[in-house]
């Protein structure tokens, strides 16, 4: 039988073992939520669970590869052993592949469409009874790439999936609001995650790094990249904002207003 917590709140976070997902899970734990982390790597999940458990919160983990077609149903079945109510579902897992139109492949498109759009929809569907039980909320992680293009970085296929998750967010907010479930999204600007550091910044020369920093100062009214904690704070707000639904919250240092 599922555990029943009279006062406890459960948050499910996909991609919760590292990066943005881990920061969001950490902030929700600090706010008093028990956690169910979903990610591929058992080792990273165990490490994250140890780290987050220091807040005194209960941390459950589900190891699953969301690129598989059966993953949403498998994850929901695992979570059902823990709880029959979910207060917050954070659809954080996603992938990005930037390519020109001429170089975009069907495989790239299909992978991004599946992880960035279908998986959030299917997980929301699988968890709907538990979300209804809690009168909970869904938080989708989108991106500024739905609204702002960057010269020299070709993003048609990726941007299309981010526009789709924004539309999905608004449509589900309209559908599920009368049943007490809120649906919102966060659209981050560029965030200085470990992946950003290792994949993007680390290979740069000193001159390229200087040019990068100057570009950030010009592009962002607040003059800096985001931190994972900036996004996590927005997730905590949306998780508790009882009269906010259908919102695509730009947490981007002002990038998309220029």
Question: How confident is the model at residue 38, as a pLDDT?
Answer: 98
Residue 30: Cβ within 10 Å count? 14
Q: What single string gives the DSSP state of each residue in 184-227?
A: EEEEE--B--HHIIIIIITT--HHHHHHHHHHHHHH-TT-S-B-
* Tokens representing residue 71 in the block: 């993953």
Q: Considering the candidates 144, 158, 200, 220, report the single residue annotated as catalytic.
A: 158
Q: What are phi and psi of 250, to 5 degrees?
A: -75, 115
The 3 state secondary structure assigned to 27-91 is HHHHCCEEEEEEECCHHHHHHHHHHHHCCCCCEEEEECCCCCCCHHHHHHHHHHCCCCCCCEEEE
Give pLDDT tens digits for 196-251.
898 889 999 999 999 999 999 999 999 999 999 999 999 999 999 999 999 999 99
Question: How confident is the model at residue 194, as a pLDDT?
Answer: 86
* Alpha carbon 52 to chain centroid, angstroms: 18
Selection from 152, 165, 150, 158 nearest residue 119 by Cα? 165
Q: Rounded to an integer, what distance in angstroms lies between the CA atom of residue 148 and that of residue 233? A: 23
The order of strands in the sheet holding 9-14 is 59-63, 33-39, 9-14, 88-91, 137-141, 182-188, 248-251
Question: How confident is the model at residue 8, as a pLDDT?
Answer: 78
For 129, the 3-state DSSP assignment is helix
| Contact (Cβ atoms closer than 8 angstroms) between residue 141 and residue 90 | yes
Helix (H) or strand (E) holding 170: helix 156-176
Residues of the chain with pLDDT under 70: 1-7
For 121, the 3-state DSSP assignment is helix
Q: Is 220 a catalytic residue?
A: no
Question: How confident is the model at residue 2, as a pLDDT?
Answer: 46
Radius of gyration over every alpha carbon of the chain, rounded to an integer in angstroms: 18
């Amino acid at each position: 039988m599922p555990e029943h917590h009279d006062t406890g709140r459960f948050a499910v976070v996909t991609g919760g073992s590292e990066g943005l997902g881990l920061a969001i899970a950490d902030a929700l734990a600090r706010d008093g939520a028990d956690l169910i982390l979903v990610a591929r790597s058992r080792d990273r999940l165990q490490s994250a669970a140890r780290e987050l458990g220091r807040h005194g919160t209960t941390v459950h983990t589900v190891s699953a590869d969301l690129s598989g077609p059966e993953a949403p149903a498998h994850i929901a079945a695992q979570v059902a052993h823990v709880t029959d109510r979910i207060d917050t579902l954070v659809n954080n897992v996603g992938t990005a592949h930037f390519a020109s139109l001429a170089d975009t492949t069907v495989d790239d498109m299909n992978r991004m469409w599946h992880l960035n759009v279908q998986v959030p929809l299917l997980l929301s569907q699988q968890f709907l009874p538990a979300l209804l039980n809690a009168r909970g909320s869904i938080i989708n992680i989108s991106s500024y790439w739905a609204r702002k293009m960057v010269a020299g970085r070709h993003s048609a296929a990726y941007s299309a999936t981010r526009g789709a998750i924004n539309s999905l967010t608004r449509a589900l907010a309209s559908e599920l609001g009368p049943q007490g479930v809120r649906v919102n999204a966060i659209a981050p600007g560029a965030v200085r995650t470990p992946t950003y550091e290792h994949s993007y910044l680390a290979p740069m020369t000193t001159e390229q790094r200087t040019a990068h920093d100057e570009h950030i100062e010009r592009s962002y009214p607040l003059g800096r990249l985001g931190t994972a904690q900036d996004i996590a704070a927005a997730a905590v707000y949306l998780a508790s904002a009882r009269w906010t639904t259908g919102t695509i919250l730009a947490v981007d240092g002002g990038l998309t207003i220029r």
